[in-house]
Structure 1
């Protein structure tokens, strides 16, 4: 498929050379952005290989925008996705767009979005939603507020003009989500330590995640099943296969700090966890997306500068709410982060959807303040 608009051509990515151009786009868009952290190039490329378990239940098409004025220079990119699991869950033909990057030119953005929508329309989709990279378990959202600080690990970042461009193209807000800032120089309210004591007296056991060998694999599989059980009704989300989850878990295994990853168990069954990770973006920023031997050396050197962390998930089964498991996990996770010898000075918790009021209330009670807002958009086809 080739769409030509003035000096812009939109190509479907079909060759290795076009795929390299697709992967080059972010380095062009963010060339002068001091906050941007380049994703690991090989990790992004791997998501489009036939071995990705996504292709067992979905299909996609990559597109690139290319300038014809002075040679084939990449100007932008987008991926249109059909996730059959999401269609089955929602009962409507909802398609996705993701991996969107674009220079500051509305004509380029509009051409990319139009091309993705047309491909999805040809697949029988009636609604398109995004940005979502294949599923909400991957990168998703546009940042719409909070551009004054770099992104933490595994969070989206984009130029300010992306929301402006997509709204100008007729898209509307589907849902917002928030990231919360936690300065770690203030103690948690006393209710959190009391909750921990109540949970312990109620028979709940707490321990750090195991990070090696069979212990890690056992914990990761238990987290996978618990996550699917606890978040089965999350908006626009579908369960990953165990293979997908374990692939990501194995990538994160060496990065886990068990002191900020407590697990709750009751009668030997995992019932909750607090997933905190050091903000490795501080080190990754120096790699320019290349995790080769030099990149590894840089990563090992700069990881010593990490002084903040990200809380990705606080999970607790609702039937154990009266045992104060969620508050106890927050207490242990925060306590682990500020103990002697730890470098963490602040933490981020997110995402929390704007209409998830129980989680927002708990987060705000523990001292969190909204400091970034993210948005997913929709459009009828």
Structure 2
């Protein structure tokens, strides 16, 4: 059902996306509304089509997604997705998700009246599906781009991090949304200089231990290595707020997508007593290239990107994921493994790939272990995202 609302600029019409033309309009909306923001990085249009297409993105195998477009005077003026994830509904409520949890995301709006209409339509759809509360924005899953940017609008995001109009914070909160959780990214500018002496001592102690082995990811058996990392992640993050497990299909899909960005020396697996115990990933920031492509690979950008991916040299690296198996969490061994991996990755990025700066995150505000590690290496919060909650 269409939903209409009045505004001083004219009537707003909210309608479900239907057909290829609407899908293209949904994708194009973000490029037009963010065109004047120098820090917004246009995603590849092909990636957006894949994200939103059942049969291409395995998220749709366990989720239901409805896209909506806002039009005023026949012109597209905003968009939103409304969705829920069956795997998220099965999680314990005390971890943030659980039964009745719906989401919206991929939110763009020209003004506050449009924003209010879009959010109301997404809420109506979620009620129709039996949802009782909303966590948003999540675009589309916690493993993609969760949260609304509320701090850090003055610089561009690294890969797989969102960037939102600063006005959205007030527009969302005006619809009755309250903060459920804050997510931070940490900026590390001294990649070449190294870490404080205490970190060096912790690393040296780990290197003397016969129990510990920290090794590079072996790309010659990449699928196996990726499966090890995701299995550790599913175990390590299983009690974290907002956790939703990866399916086997998503493991394979993610590995295929991220293999071109995976450098052996900046991705580490730690073993304890011969068994995988932890991992840490760091990827060169492909946004440094994508910001100039306007979302398009053809006719010439595909060749430029392919050439760069053969030997990425990047000033910026992002550490998006790390994990330590649950049996070692809350022990000194967990922090030791983390410091060893981050130091080895720092050395490789600085000496082999021209790395100058790194970004760690996102990190949950109450993840005391990761916050302590970020503080110990003298990094600072440079971006803050918020996930909001509202009862329906």
Return the TM-score normalized by structure 2. Answer: 0.91
Counterpart among 310, 313, 329 of residue 318 in structure 2? 310
Q: Write out per-residue CA displacement over residues 97-126 of structure 1, whole angstroms, 9 at most, x where no aligned residue.
A: 0111122x1010000000000000011111
Partner of 2:386: 375
The answer as to whether partners of 1:5 and 1:111 remain within 8 angstroms in 2 is yes
Contact 1:195 1:325 in 2 (8 A): no
3-state SS of 1:47 partner: helix
Matching residue within 238, 241, 248 for 1:235: 241
How many residue pairs end up in the alignment?
374
Is the Cα–Cα contact under 8 Å of residues 40 and 291 in structure 1 kept in the other structure? Answer: yes
Give the RMSD, CA atoms, in angstroms. Answer: 1.7
Check conservation: 2:148, 2:386, Cα contact below 8 A.
Answer: yes
Find the aligned partners of 1:319 and 1:84 in 2 and give their Cα distance: 28
* One of 255, 259, 262 as aligned partner of 2:261: 255
Q: Deviations over 1:71-95 (max 9, x none)?
A: x321111111111111121243010
Counterpart Cα distance in 1 of 2:36 and 2:345:
36
Superposed, 1:123-134 pairs within 5 Å as: 123-134=129-140
Residues 319-338 of structure 1: pairs in structure 2 closer than 5 A: 319-320=327-328, 321-323=331-333, 324-338=336-350
Give unmatched runs, 5+ long, in structure 2.
Answer: none
Higher deviation after alignment, 11-20 or 47-56: 47-56
Distance in 1, Cα, partners of 2:180 & 2:213: 39
TM-aligned CA deviation for residue 58 of structure 1: 1.7
CA distance in 2, matches of 1:277, 1:147: 22
Per the TM alignment, residue 235 of structure 1 is displaced from its structure 2 partner at its CA by 1.2
| Greater mean alpha carbon deviation, residues 181-190 or residues 170-179 | 181-190
Write the distance in 2 (CA, Å) between the matches of 1:292 and 1:235: 40
CA displacement at 1:33 relative to structure 2: 0.9
* Distance in 2 of aligned mates of 1:357 and 1:179: 14
1:87 aligned to 2:83?
no
CA distance in 2, matches of 1:342, 1:97: 38
- Structure 1 unaligned regions, length at least 5: none
Relative to 1, partners in 2 of residues 1:29 and 1:63: Cα closer, same or farther, differing over 3 Å?
Answer: same
Offset of 1:18 from its aligned partner? Answer: 0.8
Which segments of structure 1 move beyond 6 Å, counting only runs of 4 or more?
Answer: 301-305
Measure, in 2, the Cα distance between the counterparts of 1:95 and 1:328.
39
Partner of 2:289: 283
Task: Tell me whether 1:361 sits opposite 2:367 in the alignment.
Answer: no
SS where residue 139 of structure 2 aligns?
Answer: coil
Does structure 2 retain, via aligned residues, the 8 Å contact 1:98–1:132? Answer: yes
Write the distance in 2 (CA, Å) between the matches of 1:21 and 1:338.
42
